Amino acid sequence: DTGVSQNPRHKITKRGQNVTFRCDPISEHNRLYWYRQTLGQGPEFLTYFQNEAQLEKSRLLSDRFSAERPKGSFSTLEIQRTEQGDSAMYLCASIGSGANVLTFGAGSRLTVL
Amino acid sequence: GESVGLHLPTLSVQEGDNSIINCAYSNSASDYFIWYKQESGKGPQFIIDIRSNMDKRQGQRVTVLLNKTVKHLSLQIAATQPGDSAVYFCAERPFRYSTLTFGKGTMLLVSP
């Protein structure tokens, strides 16, 4: 068990470009969460999956954001037409059935120039 | 002492002191609370949790206290070490299977 893995760790892009982040959760965890964290703030919920089903999306998740978990294992978060306000740390977390504690990955930091 | 910085409240202590980090939560119906520690450049790391039917829970060097009357949560760290320096977040869960809602966080600085 290598924990929750996120790639890339850091992405620098120009405004208007698309970016995609990948999350590999702990293998036996059926629920996967995406959070966004800006400097000095706590993580803010974006969306979560139970297996391959996306069960909840935050109002923070604009139309430019899309997340998938096609086979109920890894997940991707894509941001289209990035804006400077999208600059943040994108955190992935996973949790097993019946458990309470979310295990977070190290995050993917996005910088939009 | 405790102060409010530009971004985060900060608690500065000396190595060996006991630290107390406070958190006010918002939802009186929340059934579960958790503390995370986040070091620079890393994701949040679980410290300790507590259910709403308890008012105190102890771990190794850490204790969480829950006061539902005033919607207050605190994290006590005994014999604070330089390795405890990090940002600490409390989070609440409004109901089972709902998502965690995080507070703003407190930066703990431990001087040798």
* Side chain identity at residue A104, one-letter code: F
Q: Which one, of B88, B28, B22, lies nearest residue B52 by Cα?
A: B28
Averaged pLDDT for residues B59-66? 96
pLDDT at res. B94: 81
Q: Is B7 left (phi over 0), alpha (psi -120 to 50) or beta?
A: alpha
| C-beta atoms of B34 and A44 within 8 A | no
Q: At A90, is the pLDDT very low, low, confident or very high (cuts 50, 70, 90)? A: very high
List strand residue ranges (DSSP E) for B29-85, in order.
32-38, 45-51, 56-58, 62-67, 72-77
Q: At B8, is the pLDDT very low, low, confident or very high (cuts 50, 70, 90)? A: confident
pLDDT at res. B3: 37
**Mind spelling out the 3-state secondary structure of B73-112?**
EEEEECCCCHHHCEEEEEEEECCCCCCCEECCCEEEEEEC
User: For residue range B65-89, what is the model confidence (pLDDT) as tens digits?
Assistant: 999 999 999 999 999 999 999 999 9
Structural contact between residues A75 and A66, judged by C-beta atoms closer than 8 angstroms: no
Min Cα separation A64/chain B (Å): 22
Nearest to A105 among B41, B43, B105 (CB): B43
Chain B positions in Cβ-Cβ contact with residue A101 (cut-off 8 Å): 34, 46, 49
* Residue B69 forms contact with A (CB below 8 Å): no
Q: Does pLDDT of A105 surpass 60?
A: yes
Q: What is the mean pLDDT of chain B?
A: 90
Structural contact between residues B66 and B58, judged by C-beta atoms closer than 8 angstroms: no
pLDDT at res. B96: 67
| C-beta atoms of B44 and A104 within 8 A | yes
| C-beta atoms of A101 and B6 within 8 A | no
